[in-house]
Amino acid sequence: MVECFNEVAGRLFTFQDPISKLTSEGHAARFKDSAAFESNLVEVIVMERADRLWFPPASKVLQMGWKYLEDENVRDKCKELARQSLTAARGVVNLRSPSEARALLKQYRSLLDGAQSEAELQSFLESHPEFVYPEYDQVISKPSLGGERVPDLAFSIRSASGSQWVFVEIERPDKPIFTTGDFFQFSGQFTQAKGQLLHWDNLLTQDHPYFSKRFPGLLKPTFHLICGRNKELDSRRREMITTEFSSASNRTFSTFDDLANRFERILDRVFPGL
């Protein structure tokens, strides 16, 4: 069901009859031709604003209010459909096509194996933010948070529950994560990078009213550290990293190899069978 759409929306959804057939009767939604349309209640797309032309399944229901849905199980299903479709729909828009996305993955892996400096990979990721978060709604390069150092990227990722801001720090792929030897621990360079995430978290928390104006929808942001390569990590070291970052619900970690693997999984999900 659709009310307003253009070629962008047309690439993402299969449309049926206009939303004008949907009417409210008390606390229920009905279609004029109910036998043909009632099953499509959550298959709705509407215009958000002039430059962002789609909402996913269930968003119209969310906007209209839950009085139209009497079954609690249906509400939960609608919410989940909306979350899934937001990610998939934005991924399609930002990745543009399966062939372009696959070419981007190939380019990244080639660059990762042959890059001579941190700047090359940083430049690639800043030029192609969709490689880090394909589902992003907005991205800001080098956002100032008032400290001496700034994140490399800030992403706004929207779901049915609102906006989530993710601030990304990109370190060198050859930066050591651990010290050498049997009694290894986090390296000083890695510890410093982790500390930077905590510093930014404190800055945003201390002056939240100010930063919420700069980053609309800012609630509890996430901080993402990208550093190192998988070849340094055996199972013990990987477990140590997982334990370290799971202790803070709003901080996450990826190696440069993890980015490629995650991007490939997203492609398989967004463009299945291609």
Give the per-residue pLDDT at 167: 96
User: 153-156: which pairs have CB atoms within 8 A and are 24 or more residues apart?
Assistant: 153/125, 153/126, 153/129, 154/215, 155/129, 156/215, 156/216, 156/217
Give the per-residue pLDDT at 85: 57
Q: Is pLDDT of 35 > 90?
A: no
Q: What is the CATH number that goes with domain 98-270?
A: 3.40.1350.10
β 251-254/28-31 pair status: unpaired
Mean pLDDT (whole number) for 97-120: 85
Q: Delimit the domains of the chain by residue range.
A: 7-95, 98-270
- What percent of the chain is modeled with pLDDT above 70? 63
- Residue 22's DSSP bridge partners are 31
Mean pLDDT (whole number) for 39-68: 41
Q: How far apart are the first and last CA of the chain?
A: 27
SS3 letters for 170-228? ECCCCCCCECCCCCCCECHHHHHHHHHHHHHHHHHHHCHHHHHHHCCCCCCCEEEEECC
Give the per-residue pLDDT at 68: 43
Let me know: does 162 contact 174? Beta carbons within 8 Å: no
Any alpha helices (H) in the chain, and if so which ranges? Answer: 7-10, 34-37, 59-64, 72-95, 98-114, 118-127, 188-206, 208-214, 235-246, 256-270
Give the per-residue pLDDT at 182: 82
- Residue 154's DSSP bridge partners are 140, 167
In whole angstroms, give the CA distance from residue 38 to residue 41.
6
What confidence category does residue 270 fall into, taking pLDDT thresholds of 50, 70 and 90? confident
